[in-house]
Structure 1
Amino acid sequence: MVIDDAITLKKMEVFLAFMTLNNMARVSESLGQSTVSVHRSLHSLEEALGCPLFKHEGRNLIPLQTAYTFAEYAKRVINECEEGVRKVRDAGGFNAPRLKIGTLYSLTLRCIPQLVIGLKLRKPELDIDLTMGSNRELLKSLVDGQLDAIVIGLHGDNENTGLISVPLFYDDIFLAAPTGSPYAGNKHIDLQDFRAEKFVTLSDGFATTKDFQHCFELAGFLPDIAMRVQDIFSLINLISGGIGYSLLPGRVGEFSPRIELMPLQEKYASRQQITLLLPKNRERDPNLLALAAECRMYGRRDYRHEPVR
């Protein structure tokens, strides 16, 4: 059996509304259509079915048994279609009840908690999963669809055309030393003075590792690296314990009173742009729209960093 093209979901919705309200004017009002459009949809549906659904009593339409029979199946069709749309959107992560966000360890003290609080105020029903890792790991997980969005440090513009970027703030790189070190209190650090010193740093793949390498490229020598670690907390402990110096973004200064951050000379200057990245094909996802809006608000009110231009 071939279904007539004139039998559409929209006409079935009009038909079901009439079967519920049994009044042309009320159907017109509830659907935002004219009474002429409602009448035309019902008449067109009858013609497409090749079977009368109503009888006329004056200006009134009285449903026949055929109308009640068709209403049962039309209701199933509409319900199944709505369920299908919901399942497809859930499978694609659109407006799902859970949002998976990836971020750097160093953003978990202030930035991420404030974003999560703001997002929960916008969407109280939303559950949030937080994954932490390196830039490299998080970018891969986002591209592979394992994460819905990530907040990481970039150097320059986002080069992935499949991702949308929402900048939050810039963060400058400083020399990190244990409190009370011989360099404590220096206003501007010259890396040339550290040729004989030991350094500790993060493993490859972290935004801060890239800054570390860039600064020493500008200095023109390779630092003596005593140890590499996988997280910022271990790195801070190593610095405070006197194992070595490091180069860290300004935001980690609040993590421990046992380290001191000192600005580098201008010729070694390096900075990260903390940025939200989300898939371009999901830019209309209500959950991601809410997250992006919260990131923009954070960028405007974060007085500790130079505003993103």
Structure 2
Amino acid sequence: MDSEALATFLTVHRRGGVSAAASALARTQSAISRRIALLEEELGAPLFERIGRGLRLSQAGQALLPHAEKVAAALGDAAAAVEAAKSGAAGTVHLAAVGTLASSGLAAVLARLKTSLPDLDIRLQTATSAEVSEKVRAGDAAVGLRYYEDPSPDLLCKIIHHERLVIACAPAHPLAGKRLKSLVRLSGERWLAFPQQPRRAEPYAEAIFSQFLVRGVERIDWTAIDSLTAQKRLVEAGFGLALLQESAIAEEVGQGNLALIRVADLDVSVPVACVVRRSAFLSRATRALLTELERGEL
């Protein structure tokens, strides 16, 4: 078993099939298939099962996956460490963040960092909280920003900020700018919320439903919208209310495009965690980014 075989295995898994992996690795399909066959022969077990036109991991493949990811991440660390020693430049930092955290607050953090390290190159990719952890664990990102801590022993997680959730409405809404005694007053409104998708939903996504449930309201009229931007635009147009991150709508509120409804018995916030891989190589730029993020000014 060598690193190239494990890299091929990871690519087939991540791309979902031999054809896509061959394209990504600039190899022929037969070369990819042969490489996987040799690895399976060496391990004495099939690593993939065919589903339709794609492939999914077998039980043996699932067992191999975390170890293959660790090998790939360690090789990436080794290359990064050597490059840092050779050039001395700040280099590139791969940052994975939940899309709703890629707001003006994060932009300000990155701008400050760029001022102190002009040669820094930040590569930002967005994902769900679970996917952020997966990317950091696999070495595809050096730093991750997600909601809530991840208890995985492979990761070091630190809460750096608490994101306050507020009720957004259109400026023309009759209750815009008002303060209510209880959220129950809004149980008859149309709500916009993130879809309830098991295994892919954000941990905070069901906050509005749980807040009504604890107040004895079992059902509300709601529409699933899987984009923060789409939710904001629909709220602006008067199509409903939404429970959103205060920082994510600060610009729209300041410009008068959105308004807030304050509720006396509603005090909801969700923790934002910074994630790095345990024992990972942290470049000078990565350490600088972590220092900025830990100031908690998102």
User: Shared fold by TM > 0.5?
Assistant: yes
- Residues in 2 aligned to 1:295 and 1:215: alpha-carbon distance in whole angstroms: 30
2:147·2:272 contact (CA, 8 Å) conserved in 1? yes
Once residues 189 and 150 of structure 1 are traced to their aligned partners in structure 2, the CA distance between those partners, rounded to angstroms, is 38
Once residues 289 and 262 of structure 2 are traced to their aligned partners in structure 1, the CA distance between those partners, rounded to angstroms, is 32
Please say if 1:110 is aligned against 2:99. Answer: no
- Name which of 265, 270, 273 aligns with 2:271: 273
1:93-108 equivalences in 2 (<5 Å):
97-108=91-102
Deviation string, structure 1 residues 170-196 (Cα, Å, up to 9, x no partner)? 222211111121222222452212222
* Equivalent residue pairs, number: 213
Aligned-partner Cα distance in 1 for 2:262–2:122: 36
Is 2:190 the partner of 1:198?
yes
Distance 1:149 1:216 in 2: 35
Aligned to 1:184: 176
Q: Is the 8 A contact 1:166 1:277 kept in 2?
A: yes
The C-alpha deviation readout for 1:246-267, integer Å capped at 9, x for no partner, is 111211232423221233333x
Q: In the TM superposition, what is the alpha-carbon distance from 1:233 to its structure 2 partner?
A: 0.7
Specify the alignment match of 1:263 in structure 2: 262
Find the residue that maps to 1:184 and give its secondary structure: coil
Query: Quick one: which amino acid aligns to residue 242 of structure 1?
Result: G
- Verify the 8 A CA contact 2:168 2:235 in the aligned structure 1: yes
Q: CA deviation at 1:118?
A: 2.6
- Distance between the aligned counterparts of 1:120 and 1:91, measured in 2? 20
Separation of aligned partners in 2, 1:182 and 1:286: 52
Q: Give the CA deviation at 1:143.
A: 2.6
Over 3 Å counting, the alpha-carbon distance change for 1:282 and 1:238 in structure 2 is same
Mapped to 1, the partners of 2:98 and 2:80 lie a distance apart of 27
Q: Give the counterpart letter for 2:263 in structure 1.
A: L
Q: Distance in 1 between matches of 2:111 and 2:242?
A: 32
Q: CA deviation at 1:111?
A: 1.8
Gaps of 5+ in 2: 1-73, 85-89
Is 2:124 aligned against 1:130?
yes
Flag the structure with larger Rg: 1
CA offsets 1:83-137 (integer angstroms, 9 cap, x no match): xx99862268985932211123333332211221233234333321111233233
TM-score, with structure 2 as normaliser: 0.61
Amino acid at match of 1:89: A
Aligned with residue 238 of structure 1, among 225, 234, 255? 234
Check the 8 A contact 1:168/1:276 in 2, yes or no: yes
Give the conservation status (yes or no) of the 8 Å contact 1:166–1:276.
Answer: yes
1:181-225 CA-to-partner distances (Å, cap 9, x unmatched) read 122222245221222221111234224414333323323334434
Tell me if the contact between 1:158 and 1:165 (Cα under 8 Å) persists in the aligned partners: yes
Find the residue that maps to 2:161 and give its secondary structure: strand
Pair 1:212 & 2:208 matched? yes
Q: 1:164 to 1:264 in 2, by over 3 A?
A: farther
The equivalences for 1:30-109 within 5 A come to 89-90=78-79, 97-109=91-103
Distance of 1:134 and 1:259 partners within structure 2: 25
DSSP-derived class of the 1:277 partner: strand
- Structure 1 residue corresponding to 2:161, chosen from 164, 169, 188: 169
Identity %: 15
Evaluate the alpha carbon distance shift between residue 183 and residue 129 of structure 1 in structure 2; reply closer, same or farther with a 3 A threshold. Answer: same
Q: Is the 8 A contact 1:164 1:277 kept in 2?
A: yes
Following superposition of structure 1 onto structure 2, how do residues 135-150 of structure 1 map, counting pairs within 5 Å? 135-150=129-144
Provide closer, same or farther for how the CA distance between residues 88 and 178 of structure 1 changes in structure 2, counting only shifts above 3 A.
closer
Q: Which amino acid aligns with 2:117?
A: K
